[in-house]
Amino acid sequence: QVQLVESGGGLVQPGGSLRLSCVASGSIFRINDMGWYRQAPGKERELVATITSRNSAGYADSVRGRFTISRDNARNTVSLQGSSLKPEDTAVYYCNAKVIVAGTWSNHDAWGQGTQVTVSS
């Protein structure tokens, strides 16, 4: 119905940078909020950043000032740019989109499969 595919991630040195991208496809009428979440080993999934369809962004305290979320409504994509990465940023990062499904007009909370980011020297 709706698919989210992430790209980017990998091994990053402390102090380095990353860029994650996510594209949504399928039966999409409209996408409302989009966002990035992360889950570190042994911890619960947590919000990293969100962005509304009008490009109003919000950030977790732990990443504010280091990460930037952006989206392209025409291409149904959302990106996360991070800098000054720390070992505690190590996690699986998930893309999320609040989608209104075409045809059914139902709300669908779509998730990507996750992409690993490891910050280590």
Task: Let me know: does 81 contact 66? Beta carbons within 8 Å.
Answer: no
Q: What share of the chain is helix, strand, coil (3-state, %, to 5)?
A: 0, 60, 35
Question: Please, how many CA atoms are within 13 Å of residue 51, restricted to the half-sphere of its CB?
Answer: 18
Looking up tokens 């996750």 gives 114
Are residues 5 and 114 in contact, defined by beta-carbon separation less than 8 angstroms? no
Q: What is the pLDDT along the chain (121 residues), one digit of tens a residue?
A: 899 999 999 999 999 999 999 999 999 999 999 999 999 999 999 999 999 999 999 999 999 999 999 999 999 999 999 999 999 999 999 999 999 999 999 999 999 999 999 999 9
